[in-house]
A and B are shown apart, each in its own frame.
Chain A
Amino acid sequence: MSDFPWLSVLVAVPAVGALLVGLVPRRRGVLAKALGLAVSLLTLGLTIVVALLYRAGEGQFRLTEQYGWVERFGLYWSLGVDGVALALIALTAVVTPVVLVGGWDEAEPTGRSGKGFVFLVLVLEAMTLGAFAATDVLAFYILFEAMLVPMYLLIGSYGGPRRSYAAVKFLLYNLLGGLVMLAAVIGLYVQSATLRPDGGTFLLSELVGLPLSPQAQYWIFAGFMVAFAIKAPLWPFHSWLPDAAGEATPSTAAFLSGVMDKVGTFGMIHLCLPLFPQAARDLAPVIVTLAVVSILYGALVAIGQSDMIRLVAYASISHFGFIVLGIFALTSQGGAGATLYMVNHGLSTVALFLVVGFLVTRRGSRAIADFGGVQRPAPVLAGVLLVVALATLSLPGLATFVSEFLVLVGTFTRYPVAAVFAVLGIVLAAVYMLWMYQRVMTGPVRPTTEGMRDMRGREALALAPLLALLLVLGLYPKPLLDVINEGVAPTLSQVGVADPEPVQPATAEGASG
């Protein structure tokens, strides 16, 4: 049973499902959606199997598979998961059905087929899962680039009035990053010629520990980093996200910022750290600085937004700053926190985009000023928005707090000043989230919001699993953290850093177990 290619099947199921959805006649939209949902749930089930098998296995990468493709050139289809990848695969598998349910009717106003939406989302899921599971740099690169296409189509086909502008901007900006990364991939391949007599290799397992000159490390690292920083997005490469998220439908924006952008931060921890340890160590202060700027900049600009969806997008930029900060703090707590943050941010931002999307759909406007007093006609919706807002501002007891705290504490032990500045972000997060909540939900009911419908069954169905996960992972994150720790520890040892020792270690009996 252990030889069964679980990961390939995991990637193939949504891909095949997408094809099947494509075969459904255009008129049978509901059938297409139901089929898509079933496929995404099947993927979720497979993910659970993979997680169980992972727990039973050993080593850094588990469930590994490797098939030759053009072996002469070192090309393989090679998959495997470590703790970090498993966490993100689980996130993807959870979020996809949520997005499908949340965006059930979104295609209707545009007059386009719901079938296309389901098809594209499933294709995206397959590519994202593949990118998370890939242990081959070229395969990762191909999927990293290819997933731009379905997302481009999702934004460009189903979005708002300025959707084609946003879609083109998204595509070009990310292609630019991809181009730089391609150069870096080729550079890496050329450098890896020292490993094999007959050409280079793309296999991560062989590339880790590849002796590179510092100069080569810096350049190749920078090439990867630029692509990941654009995808993540990190200040100052962020300006495509507010446009793309603002013009896309809420569920598309949710998938974009909740799952797809995680491929960028995943790439940092998965490729940049182990492949270029010296560059990572040397350039970490620069990236930490950018991350802190991202945190504060995203939060401050979010405060000043008058458009709800753009506000959420800028909040995401701030949160991506935290993730990058945790990764490049190069401590166990920072790395574990950053990975957990990717999962938690995925959950909370998807929920936030969906809730805000429900509001926007009801009111027909994205301007915060067009709302007010919604809490009266729609108390459940208001309550859900509040919970999600609290998750976004990292209230202790909810999942996001755990990750944010770990990132901060991991940063503090190495870069205290950066941590102090980053902590300012928690105040700013409270300002932008609660101010938005106040302006949208509270105050006297306005004529325009008077008859607003409360949450419907389908909407509640989409959000319930996210809220439950946010709460459960906040109170008991241990199972997930254990898996993540297993993934982060080898990465950090490959970088060659150890956690800073406490100034005054607690006495033996003082340290609680």
Chain B
Amino acid sequence: MSALTTLDVRAVEPVATAGGVYAWTFLLIAFPALGALVLLLGGRRTDRIGHVVGTLASLASFVVAALLFVDMLGRAAEDRAVNQPLFDWLPAAGLQVSVGLLLDPLSMAFVLLITGVGTLIHVYSIGYMQHDPRRRRFFGYLNLFVAAMLLLVLADDYLVLYVGWEGVGLASYLLIGFWQHKNSAAVAAKKAFVVNRVGDMGMTLAVMAMFAVFGTTAFSGVLGGADQVSEGWLTVIGLLLLLAACGKSAQFPLQSWLLDAMEGPTPVSALIHAATMVTAGVYLIVRSGAIYAGAPLAQTAVVVVGTITLVMGAIIGCAKDDIKRVLAGSTMSQIGYMVLAAGLGPAGYAFAIFHLLTHGFFKANLFLGAGSVMHAMDDEVDMRRYGGLRRYLPLTFLTFAAGYLAIIGVPPFAGFWSKDRIIEAAFADNLLVGTCALLGAGITAFYMTRLMLMTWFSERRWKPDVHAHESPLVMTLPLLALGLLSLVGGAAMLWTAGGIVEWLEPVVGEEEHALPFPVWVLTAATLVVIVAGVALAWMRYGREQVARTAPTRVSFATTAARRDLYGDAVNEVALMRPGQRLTGSLVYADSRGLDRAVNGVAALMGGSSGLLRRVQTGFVRSYALSMLGGTVLVVVALLSVRLS
């Protein structure tokens, strides 16, 4: 457990900020936060400059990140963790939470991804949202997202992380439902938030358990003290964190929101629901490595969840005709790979992050490419209405192809390097898990090829009034940048400056895995499976005509995949319907039972006094009689006492 000890040293005594460039760490968050504030409170006055302010805020953050990165590269590996305490947030007797930022190689990697890809997507959005009257607000939300996401990865305390965690959830909610006048968008936004809240329950409980166990929620205290705590507690916390990760990263069983989240504008899908936010769960698990190190059961659960999701997402991706939903299914699946790797412990953490970064490049690329296509096709998302677009959108096609080759894992594109490592590590851990990961690679190749063929090749099937055209430069430039990253990003990260694994080693540790067979065998097998997937897709969609409407007579498997493997159906039967019945009956019980009981008591009082007042007849003589009766009674009573 040498890796763990390294972690402890790092976690317990982060190098305090002495100044220099690290004093600017807070600026990373401050720029986009300020941007969001200006744009959201500024009102219509900022309409005209909204997109510029938003993009500049993100860019400024990226520049700071780049400076910090350069400085960090120049430091020795063990001096790369820097802590910037900001202020005391929540003092309550035993619980003392202070807000501070922790910049170490792991968060640095995320910061670069978020600000880098984030800025590209900001630029892209300038073109994509050009004709939307609420563009300023869109950029405000994007800035809000970037700020919250940076807080999430920079926090040095689980509770502060939780603030960022919910902040990105809020931004996601706002952006999914950006076109609020569409009912489907509003419903999808709410669904995303509520499902995420289920995950947040896990987060809340995990933080509470941390306080109960460690007496603090700071990374230093929790991660530093994890090796002295019983396995039971660690397992509980680990599983709760997994629940949180499942919500945010759309992992089984909380995956259902991600496909609906595609109702949002496409840049949102690229930034939030592909490149950054949905990977927060992976970050959480990797960051909490010290907890999982002492909780093998929780680790196994992570692997199982990851494996199930990677296969599920891939299967769903095969049956969708909506280009964004195919990509969403693919995102689920790819994050499944990351979660799987994160479940393997120090052996997989670096690979999980590696894949997360390359996925950030190529999936953002693919989504933006899809956005460019939609831009050209009057917001049509049905791939059965595309076809032959490569001649009309050549630039987009080129970048999209780079993303495609990256995601299916063709060397030397980015995805090859990272996915291959995960499959290796999975085989080293467990043969079944490895096989699933391998199978997933094949299915990925199948559905992505299907998407490629239906969109870019085959004959044109558009509506007659659509005029396909290439997107403006402001949209294609980010695409080119991301296309380039999809091509070389993986190799660059693996081979330059010691490589990503060595870079992350001080934070996540390292562990050699032993494969039961030579590495080249596995690489070859992976490539064979990928080729098989591509070939199968070509036979189905390349050789044969693509129907303009989805065939209705399909196998059970296809129906199931079209319906998201019945995720929503299960939710509805297991949760929504009983929930509705429960609330319905409670409302009924409240008004007819409890409230009626209260009113009943009042009515009883009122009724009995109503009866009693009948005595007041208004006839003087009857009053006189009752007086006489009373007197007689008293006299009789007196006499009986006197005489007895």
A–B interface present (Cβ within 8 A): yes
- The interface of chain A, by Cβ under 8 A from chain B, is 169, 172-173, 236, 239-240, 243, 297, 300-301, 303-305, 331-333, 336-337, 373, 375-376, 390, 395-397, 401-402, 405-406, 408-410, 412-413, 416, 419-420, 423-424, 426-427, 430-431, 434-435, 437-438, 441-445, 475-478, 481-482, 485, 489, 499-507, 509-513
CB atoms of B583 and A301 under 8 A apart: yes
Interface residues of B in 182-217 (CB under 8 A from A): 182-183, 185-187, 189-190, 193-194, 197-198, 200-201, 204-205, 207-209, 211-216
Give chain B residues whose Cβ lies under 8 Å from the Cβ of A396: 162-163, 165-167
> Which residues of A have CB within 8 Å of B90?
402, 405-406, 477-478, 481
From B189, B197, B587, contact of A301 by CB (8 A): B587
> Which partner residue on chain A sits nearest B156 by CB separation?
A512
Q: If the complex has contacts A405-B159, A503-B229, are A303 and B92 also in contact, measured as CB distance less than 8 A? A: no
Which of A297, A408, A512 has a CB less than 8 Å from the CB of B98?
A512
The 30 sampled A-B contact pairs (Cβ below 8 Å) are A239-B590, A239-B594, A239-B595, A239-B598, A301-B583, A301-B586, A301-B587, A332-B94, A336-B93, A376-B180, A396-B165, A409-B95, A409-B211, A412-B205, A412-B211, A426-B197, A427-B200, A434-B189, A434-B194, A443-B183, A481-B90, A485-B91, A485-B92, A500-B212, A503-B230, A507-B221, A510-B224, A512-B96, A512-B100, A512-B216
Asked whether A502 lies within 8 Å of B212 as measured between CB atoms, the reply is yes
Residues of B within 8 A of A240 (CB): 598
**What CA separation (Å) do A485 and B88 show in the bound complex?**
15
Specify which chain B residues have a CB less than 8 angstroms from the CB of A402 in the assembled complex: 90
- Indicate if the CB atoms of A300 and B586 lie closer than 8 Å: yes
CA distance A412 to B206 in the complex (A): 11
Enumerate chain A residues within 8 angstroms of B582, measured Cβ to Cβ.
Answer: 300
The verdict on A504 contacting B91 (CB below 8 Å), with A169-B602, A435-B190, A442-B180 known, is: no
Given contacts A412-B212, A426-B200, is CB(A503)–CB(B233) below 8 Å?
yes
Q: Give the residues in chain A near B165, CB-CB below 8 Å.
A: 396
Contact between chains at A444 and B194 (CB < 8 Å): no
Given contacts A336-B92, A395-B166, contact A506 B201 (CB under 8 A): no
A424 and B166 CA atoms in complex are apart in Å by: 16
Please name all residues of chain B whose beta carbon is closer than 8 Å to the beta carbon of A304 when the two chains form the complex. 583-584, 586-587
CA distance A513 to B46 in the complex (A): 41
Most buried by B among A173, A430, A481, A506: A506
Question: Does B177 make an interface contact (CB < 8 A)?
Answer: yes
Write the chain B residue with the least CB distance to A340.
B92
CB A247 to nearest CB in B, in angstroms, measures 14
Instruction: Confirm or deny: B225 has a beta carbon within 8 angstroms of a beta carbon on chain A.
Output: yes
Report Cα–Cα, A499/B92, bound state, in Å. 11
Across-interface contacts of A443 in B (CB, < 8 A): 180-183, 186
Report Cα–Cα, A390/B170, bound state, in Å. 9
* Complex Cα gap A510–B12 (Å): 6
| Further contacts, 4 of them, CB under 8 A, given A239-B595, A412-B211, A504-B215 | A172-B602, A408-B204, A442-B183, A510-B225
Pick the residue among B193, B218, B228 that contacts A512 (CB under 8 A).
B218
Give the interface of B toward A (CB within 8 A).
12-13, 85, 87-96, 98, 100, 156-157, 159, 162-163, 165-167, 170, 173, 177, 180-183, 185-187, 189-190, 193-194, 197-198, 200-201, 204-205, 207-209, 211-216, 218, 220-222, 224-225, 228-230, 233, 579, 582-584, 586-587, 590, 594-595, 598-599, 602
Query: Which 5 pairs show the lowest CB-CB distances between chains A and B?
Result: A332-B93, A502-B215, A442-B186, A506-B221, A304-B583
Complex interface: chain A residues within 8 A of B208 (CB): 408-409, 412, 419
Taking the nearest CB of chain B, how far is it from the CB of A454, in angstroms? 11
- In whole angstroms, what is the CA distance A433 to B619 when docked? 61
Q: Complex Cα distance A482/B180, Å? A: 41
Chain B residues with CB below 8 A from A305, complex form: 587
Among B13, B91, B228, B583, the residue within 8 A (CB) of A481 is B91
When the two chains form their complex, are residues A482 and B87 in contact, meaning their CB atoms are under 8 A apart?
no
- Given A239-B598, A396-B165, A409-B207, verify A502-B194 contact (CB < 8 Å): no
Chain B residue numbers with a CB within 8 Å of A512 are 85, 96, 98, 100, 156-157, 216, 218, 220-221
A357 to B157, CA, bound (A): 39
Query: Is the Cβ of A506 less than 8 Å from the Cβ of B216?
Result: yes
Residues of B contacting A: mostly: helix
Residues A504 and B92 in contact, CB atoms below 8 Å apart: no
Question: A301 — which chain B residues lie within 8 A by C-beta?
Answer: 583, 586-587, 590
Distance in angstroms between the alpha carbons of A376 and B198 in the assembled complex:
30
Looking across the interface, which residue of chain A has its beta carbon closest to that of B99? Answer: A475
Question: Given A426-B201, A434-B193, A443-B183, do A510 and B221 touch, yes or no (CB 8 Å)?
Answer: yes
With contact pairs A333-B93, A478-B88, A489-B93 given, residues A504 and B213 touching in the complex (Cβ less than 8 Å): yes
Q: Which of B94, B189, B204, B583 contacts A333 (CB 8 A)?
A: B94
A residues near B594, Cβ cutoff 8 Å: 236, 239
- Compute how far the CA of A423 lies from the CA of B85 in the bound complex, rounded to whole angstroms: 30
Closest Cβ of chain B to A176, distance in Å, is: 9
B89: chain A residues within 8 A (beta carbon): 475-478
B197 partner residues in chain A, CB cutoff 8 A: 426-427, 430
Min CB distance, A174 to chain B, in Å?
12
Expressed in whole angstroms, the Cα–Cα distance for A402 and B166 within the complex equals 13
Inter-subunit contact A427/B201 (CB<8 Å): yes
CA distance A443 to B179 in the complex (A): 9
Q: Is A438 a contact of B190 with CB atoms below 8 Å?
A: yes
Is A510 in contact with B93, judged by CB distance below 8 angstroms? no
Q: How far is the CA of A68 from the CA of B261 in the complex (A)?
A: 67
Does A444 lie within 8 Å of B216, measured CB to CB? no
Q: A419-B208, A510-B220 are in contact. Are A300 and B583 (CB under 8 A)?
A: yes
Do B98 and A424 touch (CB < 8 A)? no
User: Which listed residue, A397, A435, A500, A513, touches B163 by the CB 8 Å rule?
Assistant: A397
Q: Specify which chain B residues have a CB less than 8 angstroms from the CB of A504 in the assembled complex.
A: 213-215, 225, 228-229, 233
Shortest CB–CB separation between residue A264 and chain B, in angstroms? 17
- Least distance between A311 CB and chain B CB atoms (Å): 11
B507 CB → nearest A CB, Å: 17
Roughly how many angstroms separate A424 CA and B205 CA in the complex, as a whole number? 10
Q: Within the complex, what minimum Cβ distance (angstroms) separates B636 from chain A?
A: 37
With the chains together, A1 CA to B176 CA distance in Å? 59
Report chain B residues within 8 Å CB of A409.
95, 207-208, 211-212
Residues of B contacting A297 in the complex (Cβ-Cβ under 8 angstroms): 586, 590
- Of B186, B190, B198, B215, the residue contacting A506 (CB under 8 A) is B215
Docked-complex contact B157 and A430, CB < 8 angstroms: no
CA distance in complex: A410, B208 (Å)? 8
